[in-house]
Amino acid sequence: MLIFLFLNILSDVDISILQVFKDDSIILSRVLPDKKFQICYIHSVEKIPVYEFFEIMPDGNVRLYETRFQSYGAGISNQEDGFIYDGTFFKVLLNREFREFYLYVSSLDGQSLIFKNDVVVLKEIANEYDLLVFRTKTVKFKNLINFFKFY
């Protein structure tokens, strides 16, 4: 009885899903319980990892809210809402929202999607220089199983 009550309560909960497309085909679909993910890439000039932090907003937009890097140099911006150094990372606080965004797979190693419990290296799901499109989808918990049947 308690299980049915719990499932009934969950049935109307919104679940955020990140989808990555290549040539109009979904190559990655990931449920985001915490509505957050990161993209890591190697800066082309400085050759250092840069981490971009994203969250899914209630309207389904993706918001880039922070960028982190360990050294400051050519081509790395500090002209945003806030610029902080915490002793390890420089952090640029941002507030940019997108309905979808595009990313080319780099020829440099290290470009990846980082989730709460997983890392996906982009070169393992696509080829160098492929154009990837990132979109989100929101489904009700009760429709989650049906949603993934088709992908």
Residue pLDDT, tens place only, 54-100: 999 989 999 999 999 887 665 555 555 677 888 888 888 899 999 99
**Window from 6-20, 66-80, 104-118 with minimum mean pLDDT:** 66-80
- Asked if the model's pLDDT at residue 151 lies above 60, the reply is no
Max intra-chain CA distance, the chain: 61
- Asked if the model's pLDDT at residue 147 lies above 60, the reply is no
**Window from 122-126, 129-133, 138-142 with minimum mean pLDDT:** 138-142
Residue with tokens 């190697």, as numbered in its chain: 42
Average pLDDT over residues 134-145: 80
Residue 142 neighbours by CB under 8 Å, 6+ apart? 10, 11, 12
With CA atoms as reference, report the closest residue to 22 among 103, 120, 118: 103
CA dist., res. 142 & res. 69, Å (int):
40
Amino acid at 107: S
Percent of the chain residues past pLDDT 70, beyond the cut: 79
- Asked if the model's pLDDT at residue 26 lies above 50, the reply is yes
Q: Give me the sheet containing 14-22, strands edge to edge.
A: 25-31, 14-22, 131-140, 100-104
**Window from 41-45, 53-57, 102-106, 147-151 with minimum mean pLDDT:** 147-151
The pLDDT score that the predictor gives to residue 145 is 60
> Which residue has better confidence, 40 or 78?
40
**Side-chain half-sphere exposure of 14, counting CA atoms within 13 A:** 10
The pLDDT score that the predictor gives to residue 86 is 85
CA dist., res. 135 & res. 103, Å (int):
12
Contact 115, 37 (CB under 8 A): yes
